[in-house]
Structure 1
Amino acid sequence: MRKILLYALILGLTGCATNKKTNKNNNNAPREARTVANYPEVVAKPMVVAIKSRYIVKDSSSAKVFMELDVENLSKDKALQQMKETFRLSFLLQSDYGVRDRLAYNKVDFTEQNFILRDGKVEVVFDIPRPKNISRALLLTEIFELATSKKSNNDLVIDFSATRLGDRYGLYVSDMSRPLFRNYINKKDTFQIRSIDNHVRDLYLIRYANDFDPAQSPMATTLKPAIKSLRIEEIQKIQTGTPLQLQTEGVYFAVEDTMNTRNGLGFMIVDNRFPKFTLPEKLVKPLIYMSTSQETRTVAENPDAKQALDRYFLSITGGNQTLSKKIIKTYYRRIEEANRLFTSFKEGWKTDKGMVYIILGPPNKVQRSRDREVWMYAQSQNFSEIIFTFNKRPNQLADNYYELVRYPEYQAYWYPFVEAWRTGNVME
């Protein structure tokens, strides 16, 4: 499966050299022994494939940065030593995108104090000093592979003024040593909202109804959906640093003052299977991206969700059960990835980014600025380069909400990709 985290630039595959020398004195050895001698086992080198990052402002003079690295071929028992021997981590602090100044620069060593291996991911933490007279800056981090000189980069805008509650507090689960790198919490998880110094203060937790619609197609330029007003379902008073477990699914927003709900900390409480979808009633809804309007209505009107699913996939494959199973497995794997990557105040599959990711897969290249993200899909045998532009939109519940710039011209690209899904010709 190709991997992507859109707050990272993806590295290419690392080539592994093999020893081509042969043992001339081994010609009389058994055939199996000669094979082993001539082709020694190749040990795969650690390789960074994706990066996530976030920050929490400590005080008026610094912020703490947390990085999550997806590193392949890393030994669980020797992870720290392998990272030291294979990579070099450094950061550069600039005023903004496209501004080539240097507000701060330093190397970050991998140590027992700032390094942890959790859930198969490497997590590194380090402090960033606040530059004088600067309230917001761009942090560029680079992971340099010593053997190949390959680089993996990540960018993160830091608001040192900490105007949002999410700039000063994070969501913590499990051992409470690192904040979450995602915006959702499963109902089974006990969590805390905490600051770096774990200062205790009162907050109000507002729960909204989660009834947001899926993204419209990239060609929908005329029919702009009405923005739904947020309907408050519940307000409860909590304390930071206190263990919480919430059983009601929905969108939650933590604020310091119920009269000022502009700068809070938003997250979702989701079922314990999320980001996977396994229940028929949840599997039905994402079919909207690969279905006709009539098919969508037919599926929605069937009170038996499992029967609706079976009939749908068998109808588009002409009754081919093997092909149906292949499409189901691939499509819902893509749904899971979209949920994991893009969930904000609504499930990832419902977002504009999630929709494009589900149908076309990970982009070949991503360009980012302060208020825009551009996804580029490489030219293929049938298409020229395809470009999708997402503009960042102010949103009360999430700081990473993007809307796709829609064009009628996408029709020439979009429908062939949808047809590839329906015929089982999508490449993973």
Structure 2
Amino acid sequence: MKRLFIFSCLLVFAYTLSAQSRMSSVEMSYLYNEDHEFLVQHKVATDGTKVKLFLKFILNSGNVKFSDYRLSYDVRASYIDEKEVNSAVPLDSSSIIDVDFRQYVYAFEFDNSMEDQLVVVDIFNTVRNKHFNLDIPLKIKDWNPASFLVYEAEKDIPYFAKYITKDYPVRIVNPFNQNSTYEVNGVSNNLPVALPPFDESVKDSIPQVPLDTAYGVNNAERFQLYTEGIYKVRSRDYPNQQLTLLVSDEYHPYYGSYSDLVSPLIYVSTNDEYRAMKDSEDGRSSFESFVNNTISSNERVAKDFIKYYYRRIRKSARLFSEDREGWKTDRGMVFQVFGNPLQVFRNESTELWVFPSSTGGRLRFIFDIIAEDGLIKYKLIRGNRYRENWMLAVTQWRSGRIIE
């Protein structure tokens, strides 16, 4: 009943509230489309009632220019809270703190004395007369954004990517307290891959091995992380807050060996096939054998499979990485097999993805939104209803038919 209620609420929000300027009526699939006319990323820090927000806006098409857009924001109590008249605050050149090739970084601050839970950024393409909305949570249950952020080493702006390549220099910066100090501790990155959407079993947790690297850094001090893993950043000044950082190898999201290429094939291989590839002493031979014998003996089809399947792995890294690689997460798993969602709707506690169904109608995935270990995570509500569509999609991949 809970799942039915959540789903019903999302549909009601999505299709009946559009005239009232409520966030849950806004279709946000553009956020997961890396071919969209623009890309947008954000970072937010809070300290009590103080909020500082950074927005990276990237032009992603040669057919648009910065003058085509007007950006503004407003703060709301919730997703169903209507936008107040004249509440929008424009973001103009005075808000820009960094300029690069076809991209701006905006920064703005406000006092959230009313304890609103949501910032809504309106991105208006004036040429097309089309609005896009970005929702930025200020609170999820008992969680608030931390007071400190990872910054670039050479620029006074946040590090926006969802993972850090080892040896890449960064800083930890608190925009509100320049005297903060931090402890950085790591554990091994051995978290499991997401189970198929119809598999409701619960796996035993895997103990994570502490890394023999620990860092003590001052505010804005440059440092590097030399070992792959998952790092937690804490400050004595803010004992209830932490940042979680995924540190990858120098090739990520590409792969440096054939044996590494095997791991993402778990979604389109049988248990026996996958085990045989992982156990093989010749990674290249096992990988090429799977692609040429299972996917297709046609060279062009086999190459297309590799191209599109691993391009999606790279997209997942940029879009969905949390405390593990993007393709291992629940959203990354669905994205890897089914591609860009046709529609995306979100409220405080859930996110809904809509796809055309192979069996007719619509296929809907609902993710619970939780805050855990200093991250916002998306947990798929699994069910046997997904089995048929999953099997059909996997069969397409295994037949060399690309799902785009």
Q: So what's the TM-score if we normalise by structure 2?
A: 0.84
CA contact (8 A) 1:9 1:50 kept: no
Identify which of 313, 319, 325 aligns with 1:335. 313
> For residue 280 of structure 1, what is the amino acid of its counterpart?
Y
Please state how far the C-alpha of 1:225 moved relative to its aligned partner. 0.8
Query: Which residue matches 2:184?
Result: 205
Q: Quick one: distance in 1 between partners of 2:222 and 2:86?
A: 37
Identify which of 219, 239, 250 aligns with 2:198. 219
Please state how far the C-alpha of 1:174 moved relative to its aligned partner. 4.7
Which whole-Å deviations, capped at 9, do the CAs of 1:3-46 have from their partners, x for residues lacking one? xxx995529x9xxxxxxxxxxxxxxxxxxxxxxxxxxxxxxxxx
Please state how far the C-alpha of 1:360 moved relative to its aligned partner. 0.5
CA contact (8 A) 1:8 1:52 kept: no
- Output aligned runs, 1:123-272, within 5 Å: 123-130=105-112, 132=113, 134-159=114-139, 167-196=146-175, 199-221=178-200, 223-234=201-212, 235-257=214-236, 263-272=241-250
1:196–1:102: structure 2 CA closer, same or farther, 3 Å change rule? Answer: same
Query: Which residue matches 1:32?
Result: none
CA contact (8 A) 1:338 1:354 kept: yes
Please state how far the C-alpha of 1:371 moved relative to its aligned partner. 1.7
Identify which of 409, 415, 418 aligns with 2:385. 409
Q: Quick one: distance in 1 between partners of 2:371 and 2:98?
A: 34
Q: Quick one: distance in 1 between partners of 2:94 and 2:154?
A: 17
CA contact (8 A) 1:63 1:160 kept: no
Q: Quick one: distance in 1 between partners of 2:378 and 2:49?
A: 30
Aligned sequence identity (%): 23
Please state how far the C-alpha of 1:302 moved relative to its aligned partner. 0.4
1:261–1:63: structure 2 CA closer, same or farther, 3 Å change rule? Answer: closer
> For residue 397 of structure 2, what is the amino acid of its counterpart?
W
Please state how far the C-alpha of 1:119 moved relative to its aligned partner. 5.8
Q: Quick one: distance in 2 between partners of 1:146 and 1:416?
A: 41
Which whole-Å deviations, capped at 9, do the CAs of 1:42-73 have from their partners, x for residues lacking one? xxxxx84333222123x555322111223234
- Output aligned runs, 1:333-372, within 5 Å: 333-372=311-350
1:186–1:119: structure 2 CA closer, same or farther, 3 Å change rule? Answer: farther
- Output aligned runs, 1:252-401, within 5 Å: 252-257=231-236, 263-378=241-356, 382-396=359-373, 398-401=374-377
Please identify, of 118-127 and 208-217, the stretch whose mean Cα deviation from structure 2 is larger: 118-127
Aligned residues: 375
CA contact (8 A) 1:172 1:179 kept: yes
CA contact (8 A) 1:92 1:103 kept: no
- Output aligned runs, 1:65-144, within 5 Å: 65-73=53-61, 82-83=65-66, 85-100=67-82, 102=84, 105-111=87-93, 114=96, 116-118=98-100, 120-130=102-112, 132=113, 134-144=114-124
Q: Quick one: distance in 1 between partners of 2:363 and 2:209?
A: 38
Q: Quick one: distance in 1 between partners of 2:240 and 2:290?
A: 43
Q: Quick one: distance in 1 between partners of 2:360 and 2:263?
A: 29
Identify which of 42, 56, 81 aligns with 2:45. 56
Q: Quick one: distance in 1 between partners of 2:362 and 2:28?
A: 21
Q: So what's the TM-score if we normalise by structure 1?
A: 0.80
1:124–1:107: structure 2 CA closer, same or farther, 3 Å change rule? Answer: same
Unaligned runs of 5+ in 1: 1-5, 14-46
Please state how far the C-alpha of 1:281 moved relative to its aligned partner. 2.2
Q: Quick one: distance in 2 between partners of 1:215 and 1:109?
A: 39
Aligned Cα RMSD in Å?
Answer: 3.0
Please state how far the C-alpha of 1:135 moved relative to its aligned partner. 3.1
Runs of 4+ with deviation above 4 angstroms: 6-9, 159-164
> For residue 66 of structure 1, what is the amino acid of its counterpart?
F
1:208–1:7: structure 2 CA closer, same or farther, 3 Å change rule? Answer: farther
CA contact (8 A) 2:27 2:345 kept: no
Which whole-Å deviations, capped at 9, do the CAs of 1:78-117 have from their partners, x for residues lacking one? x9xx42x322212121101112264982332431651544
CA contact (8 A) 1:377 1:387 kept: yes
Please state how far the C-alpha of 1:345 moved relative to its aligned partner. 0.8
Matched, 1:10 2:30: yes
1:173–1:115: structure 2 CA closer, same or farther, 3 Å change rule? Answer: closer
Q: Quick one: distance in 2 between partners of 1:399 and 1:120?
A: 29
Q: Quick one: distance in 1 between partners of 2:27 and 2:83?
A: 22
1:227–1:170: structure 2 CA closer, same or farther, 3 Å change rule? Answer: same
Which whole-Å deviations, capped at 9, do the CAs of 1:330-375 have from their partners, x for residues lacking one? 1000011111111111111110110000111111111111121111
Unaligned runs of 5+ in 2: 1-25
Q: Quick one: distance in 2 between partners of 1:278 and 1:298?
A: 20
Provide the secondary structure at the position in 2 that maps to 1:299. helix
Provide the secondary structure at the position in 1 that maps to 2:375. coil
Q: Quick one: distance in 2 between partners of 1:101 and 1:178?
A: 29
Provide the secondary structure at the position in 2 that maps to 1:255. strand
Please state how far the C-alpha of 1:425 moved relative to its aligned partner. 1.4
Larger radius of gyration: 1
Query: Which residue matches 2:3?
Result: none
